[in-house]
Copies of this chain bind each other. A is one copy, B any other.
Amino acid sequence: MALLSVAEALARVTKGLTPVDTEQVTLGEACGRVLAEDVVAGLTQPPFDASAMDGYAVRADDVVTVPATLRLIGEALAGSGFAGKLGQGEAVRIFTGAPVPAGADTIVIQENTEASAGVITVKEAGPGRHIRPRGQDFTQGEVLLCAGAKLRPRKLMLAAATNHAELPVRRKPKVAILATGDEVVPPGSELAEDQIVSSVPTGLAALVESQGGEPMILGIAKDTPESLITLARTGSAADILVTIGGASVGERDLVSAALRSEGMELDFWKIAMRPGKPLLYGRLGHQRVLGLPGNPVSALVCGLVFLVPMLHHLLGLQEDGRRHVEAVLSQDLDANGRREHYMRAISTWGSGGERLVAPLSSQDSSLVADFARADCLIVRPVYAPALSRGARVTIIPLDD
């Protein structure tokens, strides 16, 4: 079977994926969730022309010539405005946020005045009127947050400020994670010789959680169709079933055969990608199935490249925080071969704010500790030429 490009594989795994159902959550539950509908302002802010300063509300015509002496006729506070109307030669004491009294069109800053019993003297009118016009921040009915936005502190504060107590968000897409292998045991086990600790489900579950999904760790299936099918069925409620290992030819194609006997339509299984060549993708009823390699580094890189975009589609996420960014090589790089290479790399910051990047000395995909030390992946296209220090490359930041 010919190798499939990463771009084509990505198009296939995300094709037809539509956002999951909507649920209503309180503001306190909404942090990190994805908005399912536009949010419209429930009020106008400020609700009236408001003073931007502490000082005196006056008529601009009265302070064209300074010093000007004006009669003090009242007070306007943020919570209670001045009820009357300001006439020629009059001033009203006013505080930040208070409604500008009828008849006034300018605020004179407190520092530019002198007050005595019932009278103020404006020494300097100063530039600007210091009035926040009604609706300067937002107007009732205005769309303030768009469907697909990830809800973070400031957006949530804005939703609260426009008088929303609950918001419609996408439910968390469920991702069932199924490890395989007779020799694979859960972390914390007493290890017999030849046993391998299962680490990929932990990494994938954290990735799913951090991307707004809900991981379901199904456990570790034995290398039999029965064991695989039994465990896979316990995850039938999930939107995506991820399997780990048992997918390469050397592993007798176990996962693929077992899931096909359950009705899975197999799509592809060899990607022009490094690390992570053996990859399985299919559909099992309503479920998408993604079969990842057993190697931890390969599995998590495939998770970043394929599973994260699938989750973003299910969430209807419109802004995904720049997954690919430009960086500058701080060392030379060899030409690349026929597979897109996701090189583990470490970045630093140049004095001009540019991101400098260098690959780790070993790109051996068996090095889990090295992978944890990396902070980005350099994406090397198929047959990319050798590059010199200073050249630009595309990176995927990790952990940002």
A-to-B contact residues, CB < 8 Å: 27-28, 30-32, 43, 45-46, 50, 52, 54, 78-81, 95, 97, 132, 136-138, 144-145, 150-166, 182-183, 186-189, 191, 194, 196-207, 209-210, 215, 217, 250, 296, 300, 321-322, 325-328, 349-355, 364, 366-372, 374, 392, 398-400
Shortest CB distance A117–B (Å)? 21
Q: Would A352 and B368 count as touching, CB distance under 8 A?
A: no
Pick the contact of A203 from B156, B188, B205, B351 — CB < 8 Å?
B156
State A25–B323 Cα separation when bound (angstroms).
Answer: 30
Q: Would A157 and B31 count as touching, CB distance under 8 A?
A: no
Known contacts: A183-B78, A353-B328. The answer to whether A160 contacts B198 by CB under 8 A is: yes
Q: Would B210 and A152 count as touching, CB distance under 8 A?
A: yes
Pick the contact of A349 from B43, B189, B325 — CB < 8 Å?
B325
Which residues of chain B have C-beta atoms less than 8 A from A28's C-beta? 202, 205, 215, 217
Q: Would B325 and A157 count as touching, CB distance under 8 A?
A: no
Q: Would B328 and A132 count as touching, CB distance under 8 A?
A: no
Q: Can you list 10 A-B pairs, Cβ within 8 angstroms, ordered by A? A: A27-B187, A31-B206, A31-B210, A46-B366, A137-B369, A154-B371, A157-B206, A157-B371, A161-B187, A161-B296
Which residues of chain B have C-beta atoms less than 8 A from A189's C-beta? 163
The residue on B at minimum CB distance from A374 is B154
Pick the contact of A160 from B199, B327, B392, B398 — CB < 8 Å?
B199
Q: Would A153 and B194 count as touching, CB distance under 8 A?
A: no
State A354–B325 Cα separation when bound (angstroms).
Answer: 10
Q: Would B371 and A183 count as touching, CB distance under 8 A?
A: no
The residue on B at minimum CB distance from A164 is B187
Q: Would A32 and B372 count as touching, CB distance under 8 A?
A: no
Q: Would A392 and B163 count as touching, CB distance under 8 A?
A: no
Known contacts: A165-B186, A321-B399, A353-B325. The answer to whether A300 contacts B154 by CB under 8 A is: yes
Q: Would B392 and A351 count as touching, CB distance under 8 A?
A: yes
A-B pairs with the 5 shortest C-beta distances? A165-B188, A157-B203, A160-B199, A161-B199, A326-B353
Shortest CB distance A400–B (Å)? 6
Known contacts A154-B374, A163-B189, A325-B349; 18 additional CB pairs below 8 A are A27-B202, A32-B210, A43-B197, A50-B366, A136-B364, A136-B367, A137-B370, A138-B369, A154-B203, A157-B200, A158-B372, A159-B202, A160-B198, A160-B201, A162-B197, A165-B186, A327-B353, A354-B354
Which residues of chain B have C-beta atoms less than 8 A from A32's C-beta? 210
Q: Would A160 and B203 count as touching, CB distance under 8 A?
A: yes
State A162–B191 Cα separation when bound (angstroms).
Answer: 11
Shortest CB distance A188–B (Å)? 3
Which residues of chain B have C-beta atoms less than 8 A from A188's C-beta? 163-166
Shortest CB distance A43–B (Å)? 7
Q: Would A95 and B250 count as touching, CB distance under 8 A?
A: yes
Shortest CB distance A252–B (Å)? 12
Which residues of chain B have C-beta atoms less than 8 A from A154's C-beta? 203, 300, 371-372, 374, 398-399
Which residues of chain B have C-beta atoms less than 8 A from A209's C-beta? 31
Shortest CB distance A139–B (Å)? 10
Q: Would A368 and B326 count as touching, CB distance under 8 A?
A: no
Which residues of chain B have C-beta atoms less than 8 A from A79's C-beta? 182-183, 194
Pick the contact of A158 from B150, B199, B325 — CB < 8 Å?
B199
